[in-house]
């Protein structure tokens, strides 16, 4: 099978690849200034580009076969809005973005919570910066891509996906402090430990996902204001009982408990990975799932079923990854036990009358890179 980059191979001046991501642990912590631990997928989006003499952008998608053309006066909708958003954010940052002809091809599944939009933003940004000959340091790019998504596209996401797509390193998980943007590349050698990560794309329809995401974010911000802290990151597990005692609303208390305990689970996971004990990440993943299910209330029957069945069939841990209300589950499994888990999950989906899931094994791939020809 050819990769997205191979399919775009041609005379374009610049060709860059940005991956989708899964998050090992640390969900809905990024917009609370907390901690996350994603890794890049082998599945990536490739964007090629050549300068145009005039300031307009012509973008072709391999996926839809469409070409969308826009200039600075247009407000673009649909998939091309992510491209226009990056043009806008780069210009806001003072980059003189040249007009360009761009082509997009992607191997990141759409709508599965694997950050296909961040992959598109980050690859487009890399190509446009390259064509502009501008100096935009890699460490500044996630914030710019996030701004594109928040302010132009209008999705109130945190910084995890853009940071993962930009900064991840092959064979590692990215420990990111979403307040300082300090990073640590944590070795994550699954094969060396005789393990696999099985991804189950639940195929559950993403109903109400935007509104629910915004509501969770708002509840966290309101709770932080009541507690008199900048963000929920400023509450740690020792301070949790006191914080909960100050909140009257039971739903808000559960949201806060998820975020505070989830931050601790990220720190604990980083500790066990640093110590080379990858299996010990399993129970932390499972605890994270239970917290998302019971306290943050962002799971759906399909993902709960995948997690339960994976655990019943020998997974060391399993959890939903990404924003929630569908999307994917990660199961940490022994190499030799992977097929049994996969089969059991498929059978359980069939028995429950769910749409058949997609399943695949992933290893940590590289963040954004240039393809030289």
Catalytic residues: 161
- Helices and strands in the chain, H and E counts: 11, 13
Instruction: Find the binding residues for ligand GLA in span 106-165 (CB under 6 A).
Output: 157-158, 160-161
> Per-residue contact track with ligand GLA, 269 to 308, x per CB under 6 A?
----------------------------------------
Backbone angles phi, psi at 50, to 5 degrees: -135, 145
Q: Which is nearer to ligand GLA, 98 or 323 (CB)?
A: 323
Give the nearest distance from C-beta 357 to ligand GLA in angstroms: 19
Total residues interacting with ligand GLA, rule: CB under 6 A: 10
Give the nearest distance from C-beta 205 to ligand GLA in angstroms: 17
Residue 367 burial (10 A CB sphere; 0-12, 13-18, 19+): buried
Nearer to ligand GLA, 328 or 332 (CB): 328
Task: Tell the smallest beta-carbon distance from residue 43 to ligand GLA (Å).
Answer: 15
Closest to ligand GLA by CB, 26 or 357: 26
Among 323, 337, 364, 365, binds ligand GLA (CB under 6 A): 323
Query: 301-312 and 338-351 helices cross at what angle (nearest 10)?
Result: 140
Q: Which of 304, 325, 328, 329 is nearest to 212 (CA)?
A: 325
Q: Kindly state the tokens that stand for 218.
A: 């708002």
Q: Which is nearer to ligand GLA, 325 or 349 (CB)?
A: 325
Considering the complex, what minimum distance in angstroms separates the CB of residue 162 from ligand GLA? 8
Chain positions 15 to 74 lying near ligand GLA, rule: CB under 6 A, are 27-28, 30-31
Inter-CA distances, 217 with 101, 193, 199, 353, Å: 37, 37, 26, 32
Q: How many CB atoms lie within 10 A of CB 182?
A: 9
For ligand GLA, what does the binding mask look like between residues 204 and 223, x meaning CB under 6 A?
--------------------
Which CB sits closer to ligand GLA, 23 or 50? 23
Q: Are 306 and 357 in contact (CB under 8 A)?
A: yes
Smallest distance from ligand GLA to CB 155, Å: 7
Name the 3-class secondary structure at 187.
strand
Burial class (CB in 10 A: 0-12, 13-18, 19+), 321: buried
- Encoded tokens for 224: 């932080």
User: Can you give the binding site for ligand GLA, defined by CB under 6 A?
Assistant: 27-28, 30-31, 157-158, 160-161, 322-323
């Amino acid at each position: 099978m050819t990769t997205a980059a191979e399919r775009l191979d041609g005379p374009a001046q610049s060709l860059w690849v940005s991956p989708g991501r899964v998050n090992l642990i640390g969900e809905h912590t990024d917009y609370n200034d907390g901690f996350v631990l994603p890794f890049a997928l082998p599945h990536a989006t490739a964007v090629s580009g050549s300068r145009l003499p005039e300031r307009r952008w012509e973008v072709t998608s391999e996926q839809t076969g469409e070409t969308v053309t826009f200039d600075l006066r247009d407000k673009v909708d649909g998939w091309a809005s992510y491209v226009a958003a990056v043009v806008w954010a780069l210009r806001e940052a003072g980059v003189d973005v040249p007009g360009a002809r761009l082509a997009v091809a992607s191997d990141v599944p759409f709508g599965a919570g694997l950050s296909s939009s961040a992959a598109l933003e980050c690859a487009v940004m890399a190509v446009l910066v390259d064509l502009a000959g501008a100096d935009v340091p890699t460490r500044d790019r996630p914030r710019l891509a996030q701004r594109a998504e928040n302010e132009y596209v209008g999705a109130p996401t945190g910084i995890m996906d853009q940071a993962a797509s930009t900064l991840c390193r092959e064979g590692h998980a990215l420990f990111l402090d979403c307040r300082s943007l300090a990073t640590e590349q944590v070795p994550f050698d699954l094969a060396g430990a005789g393990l696999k990560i099985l991804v189950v794309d639940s195929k559950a329809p993403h109903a109400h996902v935007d509104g629910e995401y915004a509501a969770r974010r708002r509840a966290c911000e309101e709770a932080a204001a009541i507690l008199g802290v900048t963000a929920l990151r400023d509450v740690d597990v020792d301070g949790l009982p006191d914080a909960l005692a100050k909140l009257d609303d039971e739903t808000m208390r559960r949201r806060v408990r998820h975020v505070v305990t989830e931050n601790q689970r990220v720190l604990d996971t980083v500790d066990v990975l640093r110590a080379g004990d990858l299996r010990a990440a399993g129970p932390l993943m499972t605890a994270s799932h239970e917290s998302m299910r019971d306290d943050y209330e962002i799971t759906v029957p399909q993902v709960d079923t995948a997690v339960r069945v994976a655990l019943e069939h020998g997974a060391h841990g399993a959890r939903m990854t990404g924003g929630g209300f569908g999307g994917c589950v990660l199961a940490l499994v022994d190499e030799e036990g992977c097929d049994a888990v996969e089969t059991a999950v498929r059978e359980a989906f069939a028995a429950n009358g769910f749409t058949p899931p997609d399943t695949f094994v992933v290893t940590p791939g590289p963040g954004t890179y240039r393809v030289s020809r």
